[in-house]
Structure 1
Amino acid sequence: MKRIYIFISLLLISGITFSQTADDALLYSKQYYNGTARSTAMGGAFGALGGDFTAIAINPAGVAVYQSSEFTFTPEFSFNDTKSFNMDAKTTLNDDKYSFGISNVGFVSANKQRLNSGSLKNFNFAIGYNKLNNFRKTAMSSAPSAPSSLLDVMVANSNGKSPNSLNSFREYMAYETYLIDVIEDTDNEYEAITGETLNQAQTIDEKGYSSELLLSLGANFDHKFYIGASLGIQSLYYKSRKIFSEEIQAGSDSDFNDYSFEESFKSTGVGANFKLGIIYKPTQTVRLGASIHTPTFYSIDEEYHSSMVSHFNTSDENGYSNYAIKSPEGEYGYKFRTPMRVNLSGALVVNKRLILSVDYEMLDYSKAKFSDGDDGDDFNGSVDNPDTNDIIKSAYQNTGNLRAGLEFRATPTLSVRAGYAKMGNAFDISELDDSFDIYSGGFGFKQNNFFFDLAYSYTDRERQFYYYSTPDIVSDKIQENNKNHQLRMTFGFKF
């Protein structure tokens, strides 16, 4: 039971931790194939279809399906609305964030064989960019009349340590701003500035993305069998800022008033993977596809710092009532490996007017792994003292992502589309479930060598977390509901 508690509590902590966590592994491993508007509208179900730049990211054999060269450009607009509900105090706060960006830029060179070269009909090349994930979000929450205080956790973490040996990113700052102090005539035992019930509030602002630069080659044999391979260069940028505060309640006569604790974190990384895929057309109606993606091998660098400010209602003997301190600037580098992915796909193309497509992606999040920390850490622990990789192995599982799409060509120039995706649960713990649904739709218009696609997608995700949690001290439980709306427009040119 103790090990299960450790796993759950570590995965449910909200905020920024200046160390590599199992939550980071999940954040860096999640990918969504929504680069182009057509792919977005059809739920990303393109593994057996090809002929779309995002399809190449799913199954590189898709590059061989092209019969003409093509350039695509896809701007995107995103709106995030986040509601945080305190499940104990029954309070609710909302915040939202807009973002604009580029979801896709792609170029495909289709090269038809001009001489009689047997079964080889096309040998195509593609280079371009797809966005894989968008981390932009702002969430606000509160805990009025909180049952405990973060200062209680800091006291527990400090007991038995001299002030100079306290964590310089957290407990030492609380000591220097007079929020915790050593009890007189004790062997470094600490106490908080107040034992009163406090009101708590937290704001987390996140931004960033993961993306992939693709270099793909593919061959078309007799317009029945397609094979392709690609090299993916993935980029990662994630930045977050958390402000946690506690204040006395109205009517208190305490000398202490409030404090705020701010943590800032940034990670950047570059990684590489290799993909191999095939598409087979047993008939003109049926298409089958399969692809395998090696893990992405990342090199990641982190930067982090924190600060703390306390406010008192009365001045000290030097005339100060406010105290502030900043931590050192921290840096750390390490390697990270995402899970391998396998995609199986099938599609029906009926009279070149109706397309029904389904993809199923299999991956095992427990295979994600950290290694080669700058300080020599391998992130492996023991049964009694698990480290990050141990928590990943025990907390995550093998799962699957289902994607389905429909396209109907209403006229020679206009197509309408709809899609659905079910993203599987990464957790192997009954108390946790991060599965969610994506609903999408859109249309496409083409005229001569130009085409325009528009897509909308909607995602409703939910998670639960604590501000802090130990076997003895726990905050209120917060339920966060995030509604994400995305709009993409692809401009394409065939030549």
Structure 2
Amino acid sequence: MRFNLNILYSALFIFSLSFISKAQEVNDALILSTEDLQGTPRFTAMGGAFGALGGDLSALKINPAGSAVFALNQSSFSLDFNTFSNDNAYRGTMRSSDDNSFDVSQAGAVFVFKSNNENAAINKFAFGVNYERTSNINNAIYAEGQNNQSIGDYFVNKANGIALDYFTLQNNETFFSRYDDLLYEYGFSGQEAYLAYESFLIDPIDPSDLQGNSYQSNVNSTDLRQAYNENYDGNSGKISFNGALDINQRLKLGMNVNATFSDYTRFTRFNEQNSSSTGVNKIVYDNILDVQASGISLDFGAIYNIHDKLRFGVSYETPTWMSVSEKISHTLRTRGDGFGSATADPEIFNVFPDYKYKTPGKWTGSLAMIFNKNALLSIDYSRKDFTQMKFRSNGFEAQNAEINDMMQVSNRINVGGEYRIDNLSLRAGYSYVESPYKDDFTAGDINRFSAGLGYTFGMTRVDLSYVNSNQERNVMMKQSGINSPVNVDNQLHQISLGFAFMF
């Protein structure tokens, strides 16, 4: 490269939040607004259809009035093993990727206080605390194929409009200081352009004109072999503090106060090679985005016993008001005729100021039927308007406009049933989640099928569940400028084991 630098870490306190736009995209912001089918094995086995049932710690996130259904104090914890497989198609070439994870998906307890006065209007009060993982962000995509569009054009577009003088080191300047200044002057795009210049991927059309701002790519081939890796690693979770009342053994009212968090890293690598004997014949561009977020939300819910065999529930989950912090880094490596190999690696993270973000709220209506105390059937319908996702800090007008253009209302239907034979419970469920995108291209609907069983030993119950989830998506190669998408067919297999203790 044109300059080498030892490992440094840069905390850049930038006055304009507009430069974050390269780091946070709408598709990534959706991660902060999405919940998977997570929780106790009983909950997941029945498709999450617990809005009118209650009586399960994971049910509290659907309808907080559900804690007033418990007859006894109860604690539970759950473990799950997730394995996914992706079939990735890019320009006629199919590749597969897979990964797995093991984690605690739920842990909590509820405490029930019953009234000794038979004539009291409030028959029962329940208080609960529950942790749940809300989303398993882990995912990996690998795709490769032939293309005639080079990533070199992407860097040319980033550089055009920036005078060559900005890429030229002056007296006492270093690679790092110039890289730092470019963030203030031209944002992350200016830094990307500088890496391309330093690694000989692009050159000015007129090298003698320091005020010239037109550039060209040094890739001299259209027969390009490209490969793309995209790896997400992280989790989202929620701790809920719950309270609920049972009024006249008919109406149950509840409320949650939720503390949420999300912590994930996105790594992308774009690799391009060609067999040309001139110019650049290999490019490797790495990007790391690290996101940490925390927030607060409220849930309100009610369950009404129409009669002993029929219950109706309704609940509302407020938006989550979040504070988000991000840091990003990138490295560009090239190889070519005349210079061998070059590496432009600032070896720093750009750390941006925190910004505010709001997830959409959600309404849920539920109906449950109980048959002779040994069988039940439950159905939930939820509505979530993803156009209400908002970046609440200044400088995100473009992202908010994109949200309005891209997103829509997502409807969700969960259906579940349980049949008991003495101490054994057999369960099954189905969950349908409509895509939050207006088009059918970016992401399709999600279909989940689930089953499970439980066995009660006195005051202890052991539960096991299996969930299969499928979704098709089209993923654009991030920070590459490549117009061809990767078609991803995702299959997720989730096995959960849980223990519940009554006391």
- Normalising by structure 2, what TM-score? 0.87
1:388 counterpart SS class: helix
Task: Return 221-230 or 277-286, whichever deviates more.
Answer: 221-230
**1:82 lines up with 2:82 in the alignment:** no
1:384 is matched with which residue? none
Distance 2:497 2:427 in 1: 14
Distance 2:227 2:440 in 1: 29
1:492 is matched with which residue? 500
- C-alpha deviation, 1:363, in angstroms: 1.1
CA deviations on 1:375-409 (whole Å, 9 max, x unpaired) are xx2412xxxxxx00011112111221110001111
Contact 1:168 1:327 in 2 (8 A): no
2:466 is matched with which residue? 456
Contact 1:379 1:389 in 2 (8 A): yes
1:260 counterpart SS class: strand
AA of the residue aligned to 2:284: S
1:192 is matched with which residue? 217
AA of the residue aligned to 2:214: E
1:176 is matched with which residue? 198
- C-alpha deviation, 1:309, in angstroms: 1.2
Q: 1:20 to 1:327 in 2, by over 3 A?
A: same
CA deviations on 1:245-265 (whole Å, 9 max, x unpaired) are 11113xx32353312110001
Distance 1:180 1:393 in 2: 36
Match of 2:341 among 321, 325, 332: 321
- C-alpha deviation, 1:116, in angstroms: 4.1
CA deviations on 1:207-226 (whole Å, 9 max, x unpaired) are 11111101000111232211
CA deviations on 1:29-84 (whole Å, 9 max, x unpaired) are 11134211000000000000000001001000001101100110101100011111
1:428 is matched with which residue? 438
Distance 1:276 1:465 in 2: 36
1:367 is matched with which residue? 388
Task: Return 302-311 or 25-34, whichever deviates more.
Answer: 25-34
AA of the residue aligned to 1:109: F
- Normalising by structure 1, what TM-score? 0.89
Q: 1:98 to 1:468 in 2, by over 3 A?
A: closer
2:309 is matched with which residue? 285
CA deviations on 1:449-475 (whole Å, 9 max, x unpaired) are 0001101101111111332699xx743
Contact 1:371 1:378 in 2 (8 A): no
- C-alpha deviation, 1:430, in angstroms: 5.5
AA of the residue aligned to 2:52: A
1:149 is matched with which residue? 150
**1:125 lines up with 2:127 in the alignment:** yes
1:441 is matched with which residue? 451
The 5 Å alignment of 1:212-361 reads: 212-249=238-275, 252-254=276-278, 256-312=280-336, 314=338, 316=339, 321-326=341-346, 328-332=348-352, 333-361=354-382
Distance 1:56 1:199 in 2: 51
Task: Return 30-39 or 161-170, whichever deviates more.
Answer: 161-170
Q: 1:336 to 1:156 in 2, by over 3 A?
A: same
1:43 is matched with which residue? 47
Distance 1:266 1:138 in 2: 16
Distance 2:383 2:242 in 1: 22
Q: 1:169 to 1:100 in 2, by over 3 A?
A: farther
2:10 is matched with which residue? none
AA of the residue aligned to 1:322: A
Distance 1:26 1:323 in 2: 33
Contact 1:169 1:306 in 2 (8 A): no
- C-alpha deviation, 1:17, in angstroms: 7.1
Distance 2:408 2:280 in 1: 47
The 5 Å alignment of 1:460-471 reads: 460-467=470-477
Distance 1:40 1:169 in 2: 46
- C-alpha deviation, 1:238, in angstroms: 1.5
* Alignment gaps of 5+ in structure 1: 1-15, 381-386
- C-alpha deviation, 1:155, in angstroms: 0.8
Q: 1:245 to 1:324 in 2, by over 3 A?
A: same
AA of the residue aligned to 2:149: S
* Alignment gaps of 5+ in structure 2: 1-19, 167-181
Distance 1:432 1:240 in 2: 18
- C-alpha deviation, 1:279, in angstroms: 0.5
Match of 1:477 among 473, 485, 491: 485
CA deviations on 1:179-217 (whole Å, 9 max, x unpaired) are 111112662211111220221111111111111101000
Identity over the aligned pairs, expressed in percent? Answer: 28
- C-alpha deviation, 1:324, in angstroms: 3.4
- C-alpha deviation, 1:433, in angstroms: 4.4
Contact 1:138 1:206 in 2 (8 A): yes
Distance 2:190 2:161 in 1: 16
CA deviations on 1:108-166 (whole Å, 9 max, x unpaired) are 1111112445132211100010111111011100122x121111121122123124256
C-alpha RMSD over aligned residues: 1.9
Contact 2:220 2:278 in 1 (8 A): no
